[in-house]
Amino acid sequence: MILINSNLEKGICFVETKGLDGETNLKAKTSRPEMIRFAADDEGLFKNFTESKIVCDMPNPQLYKFQGTLTMPDGAKHGLSADQVLLKGSILRNTGHIYGIACYTGHQTKVMENSLKSRVKKSKVELQTNMYILIIVAIQLSVCLLSALINVICTAKNKGTSYLFPYAIQSSGALFAVSFF
């Protein structure tokens, strides 16, 4: 959000950025004098800034870098810097209220640009348990495969009769599938 004015003198406000960079000390943000003059009253604030235009750099993850230009209704252009920007996640302190213009929203905020996809954390015990489960499944599959092969071979030697299946299964593939599962 670009700071236009605050209830303090000279458009100063104080923010705490503990949620962004871990610092608990207050940072002073100041509005440009030209913006304070155009926002002297509520009517002037809404009239002048709805007719104004802000051009700023594309969203980026650098917290303390910002460049922009504010073109006022009278055609005057004023430079904007990081001193006029209040970041999402910062907390307003020792200031009653402020007026501002949102410049980045949603996933374009600097906080969202800096957020990383969280890595899935697993304990050593959980990783070992997963490995043991995979080993057990592999052993069970190999035992089923070996048993099915032995059943098909024994049934072929005994001319189609099996102790597992008293009824005759004609196809070796079907016998293998039934034996395996």
What does the domain layout of the chain look like in residue ranges?
2-114, 124-180
- The answer to whether the Cα torsion of 35, 40, 41, 43 is positive or negative is negative
Question: In angstroms, rounded to a whole number, what is the distance separating the alpha carbons of residues 73 and 49?
Answer: 8
Average of per-residue pLDDT values in the chain:
81
DSSP 117: P
Residue 29 to residue 47: CA distance in whole angstroms: 24
Helix, strand or coil for residue 8? coil
How confident is the model at residue 139, as a pLDDT? Answer: 98
Overall pTM > 0.75: no
Summarize pLDDT for 104-121 with one digit per residue, the tens.
776 666 666 666 666 788
Contact present, 15 and 86 (Cβ < 8 Å): yes
Q: Which residue has the tokens 């048993």?
A: 147
Nearest CA to 148 among 177, 123, 120, 169? 177
pLDDT in tens, 14-30: 988 887 777 778 888 98
Query: Which residues, other chains included, contact 169 with Cβ-Cβ below 8 Å and sequence gap of 6+?
Result: 155, 160, 162, 175, 178
Residues 13, 1: Cα–Cα separation, whole Å: 13
Residue type (1 letter), 11: G
- 28-42, 107-121, 137-151: which has the minimum mean pLDDT? 107-121
pLDDT digits (tens, 9 = 90+) for 71-109: 877 788 888 888 888 887 788 888 888 888 888 776 666
